[in-house]
Amino acid sequence: MTKQDIALLRGSLPFGALLTGEAQLVVYSYDGASARGRPEAVALPGSADEVRRTVALCCQRRIPYVARGAGTNLSGGSVPLRGGVVISLARLNRILAVDTATLMAVVEPGVVNLKLQEELERTGHYYAPDPSSFRVSTIGGNIAENAGGPRCLKYGVTTDHVLALEAVMPDGTLERFSGEDAGPELMSLMVGSEGTLGVVIKAWLRILPQPAAVRTVLAGFPSVEAAVRCVSAVIAAGVVPRALEALDRVTVETVEAYRRAGYPATEAVLLIEMDGTLESVARETAAVERLVSEHGASEVRLAQRAEDRERLWEGRRGAYAACARLAPNVLVEDGVVPRDRLPEAVRRIREISARHGIKPALLFHAGDGNIHPNISYDERDLEETGRVKAAGQDILRACVELGGSLSGEHGIGTEKREAMRWLHSIRVLRLFRDLKGAFDPVGLANPDKMFPDEGGGAEDGLVRPERPLSAQARLLVEKVKAYAGQRRPMVVVGSGSRWKGVPPDCAELLTTGMNAILDWDKGNFTITVEAGVLARSLRTELASQGFYLRWPDLGGTLGGILASKAWSGLRQDVLGLRLILPDGAVADLGGKVVKNVAGYDLPRLVLGSWGTLGVIADVTFRLHSSARDIPACGEPKPFAAGIWQKRVKQVFDPGNLMNPWFHPTGLSPSSPKGSRPPFPERA
């Protein structure tokens, strides 16, 4: 940055809102991870317009910038690696509205999670996402990382509670994205993007009424393996606690030395919390007490009073702080595996720990397979630091090999960029980079985060278990490749309930032959099905065995329902999908785990895209143990592409070959100008 850059920034902000002193800059050079990067200036905007002006000036002057909340990030995501400007959002800390009638709160990004919870408590409500850092972390940071927390087992992660966002985009414009918008779901693309696509300045959040009853069961086990096996048994029994946490003996001893939580001196502890009606909580508590006893729990306690529950949870939330007392630094990994792979993950972590000579304190969001090994160390000891970081990478690699992900809630930042090659194919990584380039062509918004550079890479490349496509899907892939080679426009058709006809200049891609259930994991409550499966047939098959998709009654194929976003609530159950891209390549997006924040949320981006980004080959859903009555929804509406949707289209389909009429100004040369089929008949 030049002196003129500093002068222009200072002139665009109120007096005192730009920091350039050396001591001030050091404070903003790090977060909760090990990365360091000194900014050249720190902006402290107090309004959305001041954020917009700052970003616009950075764009004009080619200055890199990083948006920052409370700096609690554990993956280096808020460290300014290229210098430039840190845009602190701490002053945008107003709760703008709480509407209990519509169950919605409107907040600025600098609102601390705890402050929102305290405000909602006055009205008998709460905000479900509760990361362990909720006392200090901000809503803006939670959105950037798609944060989770113990309650996300039952209620979902941050993206499941964001209704709409207002963001300053990298070109300095102000945009609003909503989950109700027609077209590809850009709001979901922004959540979890770690500030690389824009700076969120306002959020509309879903809030919930406080439950009538809450009870917490504390159970001590003779081994970690016994505890995590019990976790799967609880879920398989149809009990979905709002929190299901596991702590090993090292964690328990560390916590007890720091703060007397009252945990038993056993090899492992489970904290299982139920909420709901008085009747449902009593029923689920009895089932949990029976199950933990059957799985060898040596000590079982029930906490019903709020103060007793709070003491138990304060111990759990204080685990990181307790580990920080043991050494100057703590590496907190954040791998996630399918729930039933937890025993194997524990075994792998122990082998890795022995090989590297470390002793991690194991902490699990066990209900959703999220593993947090806390490894205390001293970064001044280079040899120890090397062993700790190598062990952390090996643990993440093991999680990927077991069918999981690199991150359940902490994000990728700088710490896991190279490891992304283990999880994602070269083509998917290119999609991520191209989306970043489409939104931020100059690469100024939080640069050098999330994705590895092209070329080079983590040792051995992709280790994610690959799944074969069905014979029908392979045939469709070959068709797409052939039509793409001919530059022939294509139209994606499922059961025919959405198109009245296919225009003569378009080749038909029929998905109804892809109608198999590829994987039904009843223990983990997930199912992977091909896109041509009829929704009503699937509902009947699931219900016959006590499993449910909590959707309204929707006709047509699953692919058509998702592509048209026939109901906005679909997004809460979509875990992953495979997309046949317009050139015939296959992108494997998401996975089987409930928590996955390793890259942009492309599975949800595809929702509402009406076949313009590719053909959905198969999709993985989260299942439920009980049904829910959901009224019939209205007809989905095709979208009129705006600037950001056009940029997304350019990334996925630069030749405008898939359902091209949605982007009439970008028709491929072989398609007559203005040709288009009628809009969809119905959902």
User: Is 683 a residue whose pLDDT tops 60?
Assistant: no
Give pLDDT tens digits for 592-623.
Answer: 998 999 999 999 999 999 999 999 999 999 99
| Annotation: CATH topology of 214-401 | Vanillyl-alcohol Oxidase; Chain A, domain 3 (3.40.462)
What's the pLDDT band for 668 if we cut at 50, 70, 90?
very low
Interval 392-409 mean pLDDT:
95
For 526, which DSSP code?
E
Q: Which of 320, 83, 183 is nearest to 611 (CA)?
A: 183
pLDDT at 458: 57
Instruction: List the beta strands (DSSP E) in 61-152.
Output: 65-68, 85-88, 95-99, 104-107, 125-126
Q: Span 345-374, mean pLDDT? A: 94
Q: Are 422 and 462 in contact (CB under 8 A)?
A: yes
Structure tokens of 468? 């074969």
Give the type of residue at 552.
Answer: P
How many Cβ atoms from other residues are within 10 Å of residue 395's Cβ? 23
* pLDDT score for 669: 35
pLDDT tens digits, one per residue of 271-321 = 999 999 999 999 999 999 999 999 999 999 999 788 989 999 988 888 888
Q: Which of 189, 168, 170, 192 is closest to 179 using CA atoms? A: 189
Give me the sign of the Cα torsion angle 416, 403, 426, 660: negative
172-183 pLDDT, tens digit per residue, is 999 999 999 999
Question: What stretch of H or E contains 481?
Answer: helix 471-485
Residue with tokens 């941050």: 158
Average pLDDT along the chain: 92
In angstroms, the CA 618 to CA 660 distance is 22
Identical topology for domains 95-209 and 471-666 = yes
Per DSSP, what are the bridge partners of residue 245?
Answer: 271
Asked if pLDDT for residue 677 goes beyond 60, the answer is no
What is the second-level CATH architecture of the domain 3-88? 2-Layer Sandwich (3.30)
Domain ranges in the chain are 3-88, 95-209, 214-401, 471-666
Measured distance CA(407)–CA(597) in Å, rounded:
6
679 falls in which pLDDT band (50, 70, 90)? very low
Can you tell me the distance from the alpha carbon of 323 to that of 255, in angstroms, rounded to the nearest whole number?
8
Give residue 634's pLDDT: 74
- In this prediction, residue 680 has a pLDDT band, given cuts at 50, 70 and 90, of very low
What CA–CA distance (Å, rounded) separates 262 from 303? 11
Nearest to 195 by CA among 436, 441, 438, 452: 436
> Which pLDDT band, with edges at 50, 70 and 90, does 482 fall under?
very high
Residue 666, pLDDT > 80, answer: no
Segment 196-249, tens digit of pLDDT: 999 999 999 999 999 999 999 999 999 999 999 999 999 989 899 999 999 999
| Angstrom distance (rounded) from CA 346 to CA 232 | 14
CA distance 367 to 357: 29
Mean pLDDT confidence for 561-583: 94
Closest residue by Cα to residue 480 from 272, 357, 652:
652
0.75 surpassed by pTM: yes
**Which of 85-89, 593-597, 646-650, 652-656 is predicted least confidently?**
593-597
Lowest-pLDDT range, 459-468, 471-480, 608-617? 459-468
CATH 3.30.1440.10 fits 95-209, yes or no: no
Question: Mind listing the pLDDT tens digit for each residue in 510-538?
Answer: 998 899 999 999 988 999 999 999 999 99
Residue 178 φ/ψ, nearest 5 degrees: -130, 155
Rounded to whole angstroms, the Cα distance separating 30 from 28 reads 6
Q: Which helix (H) or strand (E) holds 373?
A: strand 370-377
pLDDT of residue 676: 37
Give me the amino acid identity at 280.
Answer: S
Burial 216-243 (b: 16+ CB within 10 A, else e): bbbbbbebbbbbbbbbbebbbeebbbbb
Q: Helix (H, G, I), strand (E, B), or coil: what is residue 33?
A: coil
CA dist 434 → 23, 79, 363, 430, 609 (Å) = 37, 22, 36, 6, 18
Answer whether 346's CB lies under 8 Å from 398's CB. no
Identify the CA nearest to 398 among candidates 343, 453, 457: 343
Percent above pLDDT 70 for the chain: 96
pLDDT grade, residue 68 (50/70/90)?
Answer: very high
CATH placement of domain 471-666: 3.30.465.10
* Confidence class for position 499, pLDDT limits 50, 70, 90: low
* Residue among 85, 83, 6, 89 nearest 37 (CA): 83
Q: For the residues of 213-265, what is the DSSP string, one character each? A: EEEEEEEEES-HHHHHHHHHHHHHTT---SEEEEEEHHHHHHHHHHS-----S
Which residues, other chains included, contact 576 with Cβ-Cβ below 8 Å and sequence gap of 6+? 588, 589, 590, 591, 592, 596, 603, 619, 620
